[in-house]
Structure 1
Amino acid sequence: MSTWLRDETPLSPAHGDIDERRADLFQRLRDTTPHHTTQITADGAEWLVSASSYAVSTLALWEARPTAPAVLPCGTAFDVVNVPAIFGRRLLDRLWAEGPGSGPVATHRGRMLLFTAPGTSQRLPSLLRWEEWGDAVPPMLCHGVGDAVTVPPLAPGVAEGPRWVVAPDTRGPWLPGPEVLLWACGRVARATSAADVRVSIFAQADPGANVYDVSRRR
């Protein structure tokens, strides 16, 4: 990984402006001052590409196109739990407000990608099936060995492309396992079910009531 953020960037002299922009980008990533939680760091990028069997080549390609997303395999450095954006936001709220926090998190195409400990993709679905509230959890995609995911670019790219909500910033970020996500799913499912029951009871008592007004007053 010694090539990451190297000072010598072998681009053609004809692309001097691009070379300077890349140098500025890499300098910002090298900066050790506090950064925004949605901005990936050099250490975070090294951790991400460690998932690849060809980490050095992957990193070199990513350096050459810092505004392009990367596709990385799951199952070694991380698994990914892929959930609808609204449910994912509620999971994050629970994890940070009442739990141990989260690992890196990204959004892409209306979905939220939670980076988790390897093995989570195999265990979490079976754990959910055992829970009586499991049906309250929306369909999720669990990516593990044999799967790959699209991760956000090093620098902001296309507006509608993938982006970080919680960007990786170390070479060994903490990753939640299946038990932690099961706990968070349970908290969100129970809270959602209780809210739905309250709205239903109110609507039965007053059929003309505006459900949306009721939900805002909760």
Structure 2
Amino acid sequence: MTTWLRDETTPYDIFRFLRDPDEERHQTARVTEEGAAWLVSATARPDDTLARWQEHPGAAAALPCGGAFDVVNVEPMFGRRMLDRLWAEGPGSGPVAVHRGRMLLFAAPGTAQRLPSLLDWEEWGEAVPRPLCHGVGDAVTVPPLAPAGPDAQAPRWVVAPDTRRPWLPGPEVLLWACVRAVRMVARADVRVSIFASAEPDANVYDVSRRR
């Protein structure tokens, strides 16, 4: 357990609620103290953000992009496929959240600017549901550090930040994940089409049995 919030410059233990074992039942992906420190490092006044979270631990927070991270905002089903590929075949992912029916993939700064261009050049790019990319000048709402309860519709962490220096995928890695996700769907469609064409015609089968 880090001692970051227990030194002489920080007179309060702002993350004591994160260590409450009763909160374990509300979520499986939990933000750690170091993960929270990384999140607020995106703001101009991290101490103020920490203080607000201490007063309202169940509140979401708006954080600026372009400094500590960019965010790639995708449709949830496609985002799940991207995560499947990243974890099954790739290097994994950075923090990931779900908010207002969208999946937020935290990415390396600069990703928001480069990823759309890479998709334009990629052969499979047109098949990718166009992501919303948040970078310099944008802000995103992140889920609470301590959720109020097990509400399936509430903002939540899928992959929670747990370190001060999380690995963040860049535009090339996310392009790879997008293409892999699209190809996975295409292969599944081909298998369904082949299976459907191979099914015997019910009427022909009945006639052959009567013979």
Of stretches 40-49 and 199-208 in structure 1, the one that deviates more from structure 2 is 199-208
Report if aligned partners of 2:18, 2:146 keep a CA contact under 8 Å in 1: no
Q: How many angstroms does 1:206 deviate by?
A: 5.2
Mapped to 1, the partners of 2:15 and 2:181 lie a distance apart of 44
Question: What residue identity is the alignment partner of 2:111?
Answer: T
Which string of whole-angstrom CA distances, capped at 9 and with x for unpartnered residues, describes residues 84-117 of structure 1? 1111111111111111110000111221110000
Hey, which bits of structure 1, 4+ residues long, moved more than 3 A?
A: 2-9, 26-29, 200-209
Return 5+ residue gaps in structure 1 as ranges.
10-21, 30-35, 210-218
Count of residue correspondences: 190
Query: Shift of residue 193 of structure 1?
Result: 1.2
Question: Aligned with 1:172: secondary structure?
Answer: coil
TM-score, normalising length: structure 2: 0.81
Alignment of 1:91-102 (within 5 A): 91-102=82-93
The residue aligned with 1:142 is 133
Which structure has the larger Rg over C-alpha atoms?
2
Identity %: 66
Corresponding residue to 2:167 among 152, 174, 178: 174
2:128 pairs with 1:163: no
RMSD: 2.6
Q: Is the 8 A contact 1:150 1:162 kept in 2?
A: no
Instruction: Tell me which residue corresponds to 1:194.
Output: 187
Q: From 17, 32, 50, give the equivalent of 1:25.
A: 17
Q: What amino acid maps onto 1:85 in structure 2?
A: P
Conservation of the 8 A alpha-carbon contact between 1:82 and 1:143 = yes
Cα shift readout 1:99-158 (whole Å, capped 9, x = no counterpart): 111000011122111000000000011101111111221121111011111111111126
Separation of aligned partners in 2, 1:172 and 1:23: 18
From 53, 56, 61, the counterpart of 1:62: 53
Q: Please give the per-residue CA displacement for 1:189-215, whole angstroms capped at 9, x wherever unaligned.
A: 112112223323444565989xxxxxx
Distance 1:57 1:111 in 2: 28
Distance 2:126 2:177 in 1: 15
Distance 1:79 1:151 in 2: 12
TM-score between both structures, scaled by the size of structure 1? 0.78
Q: CA deviation at 1:47?
A: 0.4
Give the Cα separation in 2 of the matches to 1:125 and 1:23: 37
1:59 CA drift (Å): 1.3
Task: For 2:110 and 2:20, locate their aligned partners in 1 and report how far apart those are by CA, in whole Å.
Answer: 34
Farther-moved stretch of structure 1 (63-72 vs 199-208)? 199-208
